[in-house]
Amino acid sequence: MPKISLPKIPDKVVPAPLRKPAKPGSTDAKGQAPQDLKSAPPERQTHVQKLTDQAKEAPVDVLAWVDQRTGASGFLTGMLYRKVPKGTNWFYTLGSATLFAFIVQAVTGVFLAMFYTPSATQAYASISHINNEVPLGALVHGMHKWGSSVMVILIFLHMGRTFFFGAYKYPRELNWVIGVVLLILTMTMAFTGYLLPFDQRSFWASIVGININGTGPVVGPYLSDFLRAGPELGATTLSRFYAIHMLLVPGAIIALIGAHMYLVVKLGTTAPPWVKAEKPKVAAPVAQLDAGVESNGHRGNGSAPTA
Ligand code: HEM
CATH value at residue 201: 1.20.810.10
Return the CA Rg of the chain. Answer: 27
pLDDT digits (tens, 9 = 90+) for 19-43: 666 666 665 555 555 555 556 676 7
Query: How far apart are the C-alpha atoms of 232 and 25, rounded to whole Å?
Result: 84
Name the residue at shortest CA distance from atom 2 of ligand 1: 182
Whether residue 238 has pLDDT greater than 60: yes
**φ/ψ of residue 293, rounded to 5:** -110, 115
| Beta carbon of 180 within 6 Å of any ligand 1 atom | yes
Has residue 155 been placed in a domain?
yes
C-alpha 158 to ligand 1 mean position (Å): 6
The answer to whether residues 252 and 189 touch, using CB atoms and an 8 Å cutoff, is: no
| Beta carbon of 156 within 6 Å of any ligand 1 atom | no
Has residue 285 been placed in a domain?
no
**φ/ψ of residue 86, rounded to 5:** -60, 150
Of 156, 43, 84, nearest to 305 by C-alpha is: 84
Task: Report pLDDT for 277.
Answer: 80
Mean pLDDT, range 44-67, rounded to an integer: 89
Percent of the chain past pLDDT 70, that is, above it, reads: 78
More confident call, 1 vs 240: 240
| Beta carbon of 167 within 6 Å of any ligand 1 atom | yes
The answer to whether residues 233 and 206 touch, using CB atoms and an 8 Å cutoff, is: yes
Name the residue at shortest CA distance from atom 22 of ligand 1: 95
Has residue 102 been placed in a domain?
yes
Domain membership of residue 211 as a residue range: 90-267
Q: Which amino acid is at 95?
A: G
Whether residue 59 has pLDDT greater than 50: yes
| Beta carbon of 303 within 6 Å of any ligand 1 atom | no
| Beta carbon of 77 within 6 Å of any ligand 1 atom | no
Task: Report pLDDT for 167.
Answer: 97
Has residue 41 been placed in a domain?
no
Where does the pLDDT of residue 137 fall: very low under 50, low under 70, confident under 90, or very high at 90 and above?
Answer: very high
SS3 299: strand
Count of domains in the chain?
A: 1
C-alpha 102 to ligand 1 mean position (Å): 13
Query: How far apart are the C-alpha atoms of 254 and 99, rounded to whole Å?
Result: 10
Q: How far is CA 166 from CA 90, 128, 153, 259, 300, in A?
A: 16, 46, 20, 20, 11
Whether residue 1 has pLDDT greater than 60: no
Neighbours of 181 (CB within 10 A): 14
Whether residue 294 has pLDDT greater than 70: no
- Quote the longest CA-to-CA distance of the chain: 85
C-alpha 175 to ligand 1 mean position (Å): 8
C-alpha 180 to ligand 1 mean position (Å): 10
Has residue 211 been placed in a domain?
yes
Query: How far apart are the C-alpha atoms of 59 and 45, rounded to whole Å?
Result: 21
Of 149, 168, 150, nearest to 159 by C-alpha is: 168
C-alpha 272 to ligand 1 mean position (Å): 15
Has residue 159 been placed in a domain?
yes
C-alpha 212 to ligand 1 mean position (Å): 28
SS3 223: helix
Has residue 233 been placed in a domain?
yes
Has residue 139 been placed in a domain?
yes
